[in-house]
């Protein structure tokens, strides 16, 4: 008699959810230029006040330390906005220009820094000092690294190991190839999963998440 009727949402299939999430992410992507503009204004104001704050401080040592922290945080937010903006621009996947593999690795790690820290994952880098240059699209290769990182971080969630490590290496092989080596300790894949890894529409993730974090935005 007192049973509360559960909302009947079971008719909503994964594909329906996928379409909604896809549409919402696409809308964010399409409007991100305006969002970036709105975000940059208060950042510039905060940065301006932060640079003036020392002039009015009584305890300059104390305020200087706080001001430095605020400056770092503002720079981090500004970098993130720039990265998301670049990530969301469709036409940048088409251009092929000279790219530095080391820079792409650095930017990709920075993009996921918060998530990496939250999951207590250790990132190791061993990047060659040589120019690791190739022709291609920065956005496309960042998408590759985002896929690697996203998959590893998802795998770490269900993997209660103390060894949560991601390793990035770059090198020049025989003067002919710029090589990226990405290593995770996230538990690996079963032979069944590994054999289907590059199959279209194959994923071990449930629901719309198989589309990937940036599917809608990167369109």
Residues in the chain: 219
Query: Of the candidates 197, 205, 207, 219, which one interacts with another protein according to CB under 8 A?
Result: 197
Footprint on residues 92-111 left by another protein (CB under 8 A): 94, 96, 98-99, 101
Tell me which stretch binds another protein (CB under 8 A): 20-28, 62-70, 76-84, 179-187. 179-187
Span from 14-22, 44-52, 63-71, 172-180 in contact with another protein (CB under 8 A): 172-180
How far does CA 69 lie from the centroid of its chain? 23
- CA neighbor of 53 nearest in space, from 25, 82, 76, 74: 74
Which of 219, 213, 95, 85 shows the shortest CA–CA distance to 147?
213
Of 84, 112, 116, 184, the one binding another protein by CB under 8 A? 184
Strands 122-126 and 165-173: parallel
When asked if residue 144 is in the footprint of another protein (CB under 8 A), the reply is: yes
State the residue for tokens 């009584």: 58
Task: Yes or no: say if 180 and 168 are a contact pair by the CB < 8 Å rule.
Answer: yes
178 binds another protein (CB under 8 A): yes
x/- mask, another protein, residues 2-41, rule CB under 8 A, reads: ----------------------------------------
Among 140, 154, 209, 213, binds another protein (CB under 8 A): 140
CA distance 149 to 218: 17
Residue with tokens 């770490």: 156
Note whether 160 binds another protein by CB under 8 A: no
**Widest distance between CA atoms in the chain:** 77
For binding to another protein (CB under 8 A), which residues are involved?
Answer: 94, 96, 98-99, 101, 132-137, 140-141, 143-144, 147-148, 151-152, 172-173, 175-191, 194, 197-202, 212
């Amino acid at each position: 008699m007192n049973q509360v009727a559960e909302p009947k949402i079971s008719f909503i299939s994964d594909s329906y959810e996928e379409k909604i999430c896809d549409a919402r992410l696409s809308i964010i992507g399409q409007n991100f230029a305006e969002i970036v503009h709105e975000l940059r204004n208060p950042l510039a104001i905060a940065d301006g006040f932060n640079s003036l704050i020392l002039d009015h401080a009584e305890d300059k040592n104390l305020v200087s330390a706080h001001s430095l922290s605020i400056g770092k945080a503002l720079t981090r937010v500004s970098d993130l906005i720039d990265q998301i903006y670049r990530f969301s621009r469709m036409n940048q996947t088409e251009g092929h220009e000279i790219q530095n593999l080391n820079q792409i690795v650095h930017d990709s790690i920075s993009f996921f820094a918060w998530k990496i820290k939250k999951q207590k994952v250790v990132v190791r880098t061993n990047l060659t000092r040589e120019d690791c240059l190739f022709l291609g699209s920065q956005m496309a290769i960042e998408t590759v690294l985002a896929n690697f990182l996203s998959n590893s971080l998802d795998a770490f969630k269900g993997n209660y190991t103390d060894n949560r490590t991601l390793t990035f290496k770059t090198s020049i092989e025989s003067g002919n190839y710029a090589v990226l080596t990405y290593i995770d300790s996230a538990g690996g894949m079963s032979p069944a999963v590994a054999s289907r890894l590059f199959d279209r529409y194959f994923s071990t993730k449930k629901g719309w998440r198989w589309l990937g974090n940036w599917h809608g935005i990167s369109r």
